[in-house]
Amino acid sequence: MGIVNSFVNQIGREMGRDAYKSVTSRNKTSSAESSILLLQDVKSFELLENDDATLREITNLVEKSENSDPEDFEWQELFREIDNKIDFCKENLNKEHLPKLEILDQLNADNFQKVKNEHIDYIERVIVVLENNVKHSEQKNIILAKLLSFIGLRPYYMDGKEVSALYNLVLLLIMGSIFYQGYITYSEPVLNAGDMPVTTQEQIAKVSRMGIGLMVGISLLYIFYLAFAFRKINKYQHPIQENKESITQFQKYLSELKK
pLDDT value of residue 66: 86
Which of the two residues, 90 and 6, has the higher pLDDT score? 90
165 with 194: CB under 8 angstroms? no
Cα(145)–Cα(38) distance, integer angstroms: 50
97 contact partners, CB below 8 Å, separation of at least 6: 51, 55, 89
Residue among 84, 39, 87, 45 at smallest CA distance from 64:
39
Helix axes 75-92, 51-65, angle to 10 degrees: 160
70 vs 107, more confident: 107
pLDDT tens-digit profile of 103-134? 999 999 999 999 999 999 999 998 998 888 88
Are 134 and 240 a contacting pair, CB within 8 Å? yes
Per-residue model confidence (pLDDT) at position 135: 83
Contact 3, 109 (CB under 8 A): yes
Would you state the pLDDT for residue 83? 94
DSSP E strand stretches across the chain: none
- Is 0.85 surpassed by the pTM of this model? no
**CA–CA–CA angle 68, 253, 69 (5° rounding):** 10
Task: Please tell me the predicted confidence (pLDDT) of residue 136.
Answer: 78
pLDDT band at 13 (very low <50, low <70, confident <90, very high): low
pLDDT in tens, 210-257: 999 999 999 999 999 999 999 888 877 777 888 888 888 888 888 888
